[in-house]
Structure 1
């Protein structure tokens, strides 16, 4: 087996961090697809689809349903069949959101030292991008008295009685702070379907931040801002319908600092993320890998991931367990 280098030995000025789901799984295994599948309230038809393809991967099943929908539209399938596909697609997306919320570790279950360790590492970067829906990064930064050092580009516009919303006029005010950007939305984010405004739930809005059902009932015009479509193209279309998500992806594309990619498989469903990085300025890109993979699998993945990026980038790999966010002591349950 090829020995992966320690992260600290890699040459580079690592100012940008991209986080995938592996980051959250290292802290709480409940964020794995297997755990989400076990929790999800799927229809009988949806459960049969997961069983048919022998998977617990929500994105894969959504991708297959999307393909079936396009095939049906091309071949002129009966409208009833198309409606059934649309219904199951919507059911699976809603079940995924509910499962992420239901399995999410509670704030009071996370030791303060863990939150401080996460926050301390995130603050080493100028920009932190994530495709995770969970609140771990947000909680760590917002609960460890680090608010003055970080921004997620939400503000009240000077009126304390207004909800926290994204405003394109605010970014210049936050220069010099660590920027936290959710590329695929998050449990704490919502979009007003009437105005298109993107906002953020707060703990002060009443009850725990994870107690979302009543909040959406009280504000029926607000919809959860989660990008859970099955293909990269569909994800990109969903991103473009949100000013905040479009801004976040554009910032990733414009970023020029050396980049650490941690806990992400960079699957075909995230091709839009790869494109945003690859089309940007030449840089060093360090990608985490698990050292317990077999030698052949490890070499194959290194080749696959290297091929994702243009030769002008310098792509390197490191043992995920040697990065501060990959340490075992962060695992809570």
Structure 2
């Protein structure tokens, strides 16, 4: 019987496109502060009865939405249904706020970013389900390495010639970038959005560091949160609702369609294969 092969040997033997799907385990491997247990401990809702027996935000949201739907069926209980919907929205807002603030407690060294980049560079396309900025920080590191030491960069990525491209305008200005479908080759996809992504009725934007006023990306996210504007993140209790929101946003829908059409081999890193992301695994199972 053939035993399990190690990653290094397997990745070298594959001669077709290699795709990577990242789940929350990727972030927790960097810092356990990104686990739901840790997030809830730092949350303003840590003592709320809503989380009396569960720290999984999405499961709590699913439970609240189920109760809302039950009361909606009884027309005379409309106000109670509205209460459950309000609690669900409060939990979503709390998750985004708490996760944003937790980034102040996370530091990734150049060595850590470099090692993560070496891992990512083995792939042709990277898809992530995470909202946090860890992947974005690695991409920023890779771009700076490319610009400062091109020969060294080309030497370490010689197999795939990997260069991270997220589809946003690559202007050198400090203005936030606009996503431009088909204008740039894209090989990094945020399937459920991210804390650094915002949208309006027409465009999706990516926040950039502004050296002129020393505003970090996470500072910019906090700025918009303080003004009542949430980043583009999909926080829902079940796969059906997640897919509904994905289909309603041009950027997310494009990313999802690209995932549905991947060719070659898919590696999954740090995901529990939970039913809450059934839309992701339906896409895998129906891929020809």
TM-score between the two structures when normalised by the length of structure 2: 0.84
Equivalent residue number for residue 60 of structure 2? 61
Q: Secondary structure at the match of 1:259?
A: strand
2:223 paired residue number? 214
Match of 1:114 among 103, 109, 112: 112
TM-aligned CA distance change 1:154 to 1:147, over 3 Å: farther
In structure 1, stretches of 5+ residues that fail to align are: 282-333
Q: For 1:104, what is the secondary structure of its paired residue?
A: helix
Q: 1:135 aligns with which of 121, 124, 133?
A: 133
Contact 2:224 2:230 in 1 (8 A): no
Distance change >3 Å, CA 263–CA 244, structure 1 → 2: same
User: Could you list the runs of 5+ residues in structure 2 that have no partner in the other structure?
Assistant: 148-162
Asked whether 1:262 is paired with 2:269, we answer yes
Task: Give the aligned partner of residue 159 of structure 2.
Answer: none
**Does the C-alpha gap of structure 1 residues 253 and 146 become closer, same or farther in structure 2, counting only changes over 3 Å?**
farther
CA gap of 1:147–1:275, structure 2 versus 1, over 3 A, is farther
Q: For the residues of structure 2 that align with 1:202 and 1:162, how far apart are their CA atoms? A: 7
Look up the SS of the partner of 1:226 in the other structure.
Answer: coil
1:167 match: 180
Give the alignment's Cα RMSD to 1 decimal: 2.4
For residue 79 of structure 1, give the secondary structure of its aligned residue in structure 2: helix
Mark the CA change 1:139 to 1:43 in structure 2 (over 3 Å): closer, same or farther: closer
1:295-306 alignment runs, 5 A limit = none
Between the aligned partners of 1:81 and 1:5, the Cα distance in structure 2 is 54
Give the C-alpha shift of residue 227 in structure 1.
0.3
For the pair 1:23 / 2:26, whether they are aligned, the reply is yes
Once the two structures are superposed, residues 124-171 of structure 1 have per-residue CA deviations (whole angstroms, 9 ceiling, x without a partner) of 211000001111111112123256721100116x7958531112241x
Change beyond 3 A, Cα 1:78–1:258: same
* Cα contact 1:190–1:224 (8 A) shared by 2: yes
Q: Note closer, same or farther for the CA distance 1:268–1:228 as it changes in structure 2 (3 Å cut).
A: same
Supply the distance in 2 between the matched residues of 1:122 and 1:84 (Cα, whole angstroms): 44
Aligned length: 264
TM-score (norm 1): 0.73
Bigger proportion of residues as strand? 1
Whole-angstrom distance in 2 between the partners of 1:244 and 1:6? 35
C-alpha deviation, 1:8, in angstroms: 3.2
Could you tell me which residue of structure 2 aligns to residue 191 of structure 1? 199
- Whether the 8 Å CA contact 1:41–1:95 is kept in 2: the answer is yes
Structure 1 position 216, deviation (Å): 4.7
> Is residue 182 from structure 1 mapped to residue 190 from structure 2 by the alignment?
yes
- Cα pair 1:42 1:91 within 8 Å, conserved: no
Change (3 A) 1:275 1:24: same
Superposed structure 1 runs of 4+ greater than 6 Å apart: none
